[in-house]
């Protein structure tokens, strides 16, 4: 029986809170200063995404090593609010600040210079000045990146190999992270279609700042009603509404970043990233006084940093053997996946995929 989305999400939140507790519950009541701080966007941290994985990793590390830790959520979705949570974390004694995602790119770019004695970890984004485009990773900062384009590639390849020929890609917003996922998705679908002698249709769009959850859900439902079999939903803003639309239309969803199979029976697989392994490595180096400041650490298929969920997948024709084969090609360098900086969709050189941009 199909799970009810609301119940599933509620269960995830409750279990997460029981397992990890709030920061106040994890730490002694008399605790004042917190050595490791995680700063994240407004909203629920326990949403099943990589924010939760990152916090679980920090909590586990802190409890094991006896290091105090706390997370700080922004009061609203704005750069001023993101600046404020970092200021609050530093005022609260943070020696290491883990910033959660591309929304903190501009702010970490600024704060790494303002607080030279504080160490920063920026997950899946570069410290970048939005106006000039300047990227700078100072000696007190580590940039941890993931090959989102490879994760997207695996998702597109698997969907077509599983027999689907009408696909959709819906990104949270038109930022490098979402573009990489989308471009990879198109290229993976194109390779699979070529191998199978098929032509695949893909509807492709990014959400915008004016769209709320209802607007996203309506757009997804229109795609499904129009014949789209599966939508690759990339972003916290779009993932839940797409799942809701899939449940109403009995269609399929591909999740992103973490295994989302527990959220709904409509999720056939997820394009994941090993956030835990990446963050554990940096935390261990920090504890050993070997913090790799000034560097960018990339995780990709070659070091098992990105993957496609297969253990909980609901794919019919795409097997683990098929998956291992395409991953081997990525690891061996037989496949090069173009990223956001390659140009527009036309620059991808697709030959078996027809893309309709919306």
**Per the domain annotation, does 297 fall within a domain?**
no
Joined together, the tokens standing for residue 115 give 């607080």
Instruction: Take residue 6 and report the two structure tokens written for it.
Output: 């609301």
Same domain, 134 and 64: yes
CA distances (Å), origin 318, targets 126, 156, 160, 188, 272: 34, 12, 9, 13, 17
pLDDT of residue 299: 95
CATH of residue 137 = 3.40.50.2300
Q: Are residues 142 and 190 in the same domain?
A: no
10 in a structural domain: no
Query: Does residue 319 sit within a domain?
Result: yes
Same domain, 222 and 349: yes
83 with 114, same domain? yes
Whole-angstrom distance, CA of residue 141 vs CA of residue 147: 20
Per DSSP bridges, beta strands 267-273 and 252-257 are parallel
Assess whether 188 and 337 both reside in one domain. Answer: yes
- How many domains is the chain partitioned into structurally? 2
Together in a domain, 181 and 193: yes
Domain end residue (candidates: 146, 166, 189): 146
Asked if residue 130 and residue 260 are part of one domain, the reply reads: no
Residue where one domain finishes, among candidates 78, 112, 146 = 146
pLDDT given for residue 302 in this prediction: 94
Of 184, 129, 180, 132, give the one whose Cα is nearest residue 158. 184
Query: What pLDDT is attached to residue 209?
Result: 78
Reading the block at residue 84, the tokens are 């404020």
Q: Which of 146, 173, 191 is the last residue of a domain?
A: 146
Structural domain of residue 108, as residue ranges? 32-146
Indicate if 353 and 240 belong to the same structural domain.
yes
Residue 92 and residue 226 share a domain: no
Pairing of strands 267-273, 306-308: antiparallel
* Pair 219, 139 in one domain: no
Task: Answer yes or no: is 142 within a domain.
Answer: yes
173 and 247 both lie in a single domain: yes
Give the 3-state secondary structure of 227-267: CCCEEEEECHHHHHHHHHHHHHHCCEEEEEECCCCCCCCCE
Q: What is the pLDDT of residues 50-92, one digit of tens each?
A: 788 899 999 999 999 999 999 999 999 899 999 999 999 999 9
pLDDT at 175: 87
Question: pLDDT tens, position by position, for the chain (358 residues)?
Answer: 344 444 344 343 333 333 333 444 344 445 568 999 999 887 655 556 778 889 999 999 999 999 999 999 999 989 999 999 999 999 999 999 999 888 899 999 999 999 999 999 999 989 999 999 899 999 999 999 999 999 999 999 999 999 999 999 999 889 889 999 999 999 999 999 999 999 999 999 999 878 889 999 999 999 999 999 999 999 888 999 999 999 999 999 999 998 999 899 999 999 999 999 999 999 999 999 999 999 999 999 999 999 999 999 999 999 999 999 999 999 999 999 999 999 999 999 999 999 999 8
Evaluate whether residue 91 is within a structural domain.
yes
User: H or E segment at 170?
Assistant: strand 166-171
Domain match, 197 and 269 both: yes
Q: Within 10 A of 173 (CB to CB), how many other CB atoms are there?
A: 18
Residue 227: inside a domain? yes
Residue 112 lies in a domain: yes
Does 24 fall in a domain?
no
């Amino acid at each position: 029986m199909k799970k009810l989305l609301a119940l599933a999400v509620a269960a995830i939140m409750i279990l997460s809170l029981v397992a990890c507790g709030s920061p106040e519950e994890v730490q002694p009541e008399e605790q004042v200063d917190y050595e490791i701080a995680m700063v994240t966007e407004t909203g629920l941290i326990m949403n099943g995404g990589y924010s939760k994985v990152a916090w679980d990793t920090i909590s586990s590390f802190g409890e094991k090593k006896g290091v105090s830790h706390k997370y700080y959520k922004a009061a609203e979705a704005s750069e001023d609010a993101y600046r404020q949570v970092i200021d609050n974390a530093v005022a609260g004694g943070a020696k290491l600040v883990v910033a959660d995602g591309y929304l903190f790119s501009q702010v970490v770019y600024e704060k790494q210079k303002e607080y030279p004695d504080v160490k920063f970890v920026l997950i899946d984004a570069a410290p970048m000045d939005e106006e000039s485009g300047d990227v700078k990773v100072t000696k007190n900062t580590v940039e941890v990146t993931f090959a989102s384009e490879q994760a997207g590639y695996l998702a597109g390849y698997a969907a077509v190999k599983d027999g689907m020929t009408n696909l959709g890609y819906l990104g949270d917003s038109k930022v490098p992270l979402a573009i990489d996922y989308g471009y990879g998705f198109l290229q993976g679908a194109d390779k699979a279609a070529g191998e199978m002698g098929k032509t695949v249709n893909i509807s492709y769009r990014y959400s915008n700042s004016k769209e709320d959850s209802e607007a996203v859900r309506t757009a997804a439902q229109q795609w499904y009603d129009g014949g789209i079999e599966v939508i690759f939903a990339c972003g916290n803003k779009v993932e839940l509404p797409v799942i809701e639309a899939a449940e109403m239309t009995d269609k399929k969803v591909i999740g992103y970043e973490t295994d989302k199979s527990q959220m709904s029976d409509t999720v056939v697989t997820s394009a994941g990233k090993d956030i835990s392994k990446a963050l554990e490595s940096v935390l261990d180096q920090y504890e050993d006084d070997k913090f790799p400041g000034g560097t960018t650490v990339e995780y990709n298929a070659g070091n098992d940093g990105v993957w496609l969920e297969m253990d909980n997948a609901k794919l019919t024709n795409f097997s683990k053997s098929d998956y291992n084969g395409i991953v081997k090609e990525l690891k061996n360098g037989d496949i090069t996946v173009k990223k956001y900086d390659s140009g527009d969709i036309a620059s991808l050189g697709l030959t078996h995929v027809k893309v309709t941009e919306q």
